[in-house]
A = this chain, B = another copy of it.
């Protein structure tokens, strides 16, 4: 691998001059510039980004921590972040936290030790205090789908309460009044706020939240099937089921069908997130669109603006979910 020094020799200029033509900021005479360019070409010179990083104290890399690499939700998010960053010549270092506190912390330290210029986190287990302390360090921290008041300028978040509200509201609008709800783990802010929205819609409609028609799932498919099983086993009466995410909705749909339910006539089901497979389900799943891809792009833009001085980028830190009415929910048949 050719070095900058060899280029300078072949071009008959100093090493500093070569560096200058690479970092286009300072002026170099056209003649010498051409000599340098030719020399680079001839040697097939590629700058060593590691050395550049060490000297400039800038790695051009941003760390990303997600809960899981598989899973449609994170995939969309990463795709958004990567494409935006890549276009700006930055690269991403991706690691996982598995929604466990120690693994999340370990992942974060890992990214920091790698000297990322910034880190974008989708963390669930770690505490607000930890994040606040973390953000006082020298590596800028950005949060996806998590809102921490003291860090609000660095948060890209979704109005989960609005989403929860829209989901239940859509069911209420279809005439349902006996509505079961399968929530996500309540330590996750997303899950908590979605439930808040559910409650809000019920209150607004003058309906009491029936504590028996409430189940806390695990955000996985099994959570949905177990939840529905629970409601059925208890012989409860309900015509609609709202789930705090699509995976659980899918599990519930499957369980319902296996137990002779005709969907959506016997039971209306609504999910949340609009992950890719929501549209593959049968019937296609009515859900709340969570624009994670767009949010990922925005997080990347925010980093580009804050950390890489890309001034004229317009930032929107707050996204609103929308209802995707499909076939898994339908007006109540009396």
Task: Indicate whether A96 sits within 8 Å of B113 (C-beta atoms), given known contacts A257-B282, A277-B280.
Answer: no
Contact with B along A37-55 (1 / 0, CB 8 A): 0000000001111110110
Shortest Cβ distance from A285 into B: residue: B280
Measured between alpha carbons, how far is A94 from B78 in the docked complex, in Å? 10
Whether the pair A49, B113 counts as a contact (CB closer than 8 A) is: yes
Q: Confirm or deny: A314 has a beta carbon within 8 angstroms of a beta carbon on chain B.
A: no
* Of B53, B113, B282, B293, the contact of A46 (CB 8 Å cutoff): B113
Q: Is A23 part of the contact surface with B, judged by Cβ < 8 Å?
A: no
| Least CB distance, A250 to chain B, in whole angstroms | 5
Indicate whether A51 sits within 8 Å of B54 (C-beta atoms), given known contacts A86-B96, A280-B281. Answer: yes
Bound-state CA distance A68–B293 (Å) is 13
A112 contacts partner chain B, Cβ-Cβ < 8 Å: yes
B-side contacts of A71, CB under 8 Å = 75
CA distance A138 to B2 in the complex (A): 12
| Number of chain A residues close to chain B: CB under 8 A | 47
Within 8 A of B (CB), among A98-143: 109-110, 112-115, 138
Least distance between A110 CB and chain B CB atoms (Å): 7
B residues in contact with A21, CB < 8 Å: none
Is A93's CB within 8 Å of the partner chain B? Answer: yes
Query: Is A12 an interface residue, CB under 8 A from the partner?
Result: no
A275-304 vs B, CB cutoff 8 Å, 1 = contact: the mask equals 011001110000000000100000000000
Residue A168 interfacial (CB < 8 Å): no
Distance, CA A250 to CA B112, complexed state (A): 42
A-B contact pairs, 6 of them (CB 8 A): A54-B54, A69-B78, A71-B75, A78-B94, A93-B93, A277-B280
6 additional contacts (CB under 8 A) given A54-B54, A93-B93 = A50-B59, A50-B115, A78-B94, A82-B96, A91-B93, A280-B280
Closest 6 CB pairs of A and B: A282-B282, A277-B277, A69-B79, A70-B75, A70-B79, A50-B53
Binding site for B on A (CB under 8 A): 1, 46-51, 53-54, 59, 61, 68-72, 74-76, 78-79, 82-83, 86, 91-96, 109-110, 112-115, 138, 221, 250, 254, 257, 276-277, 280-282, 293
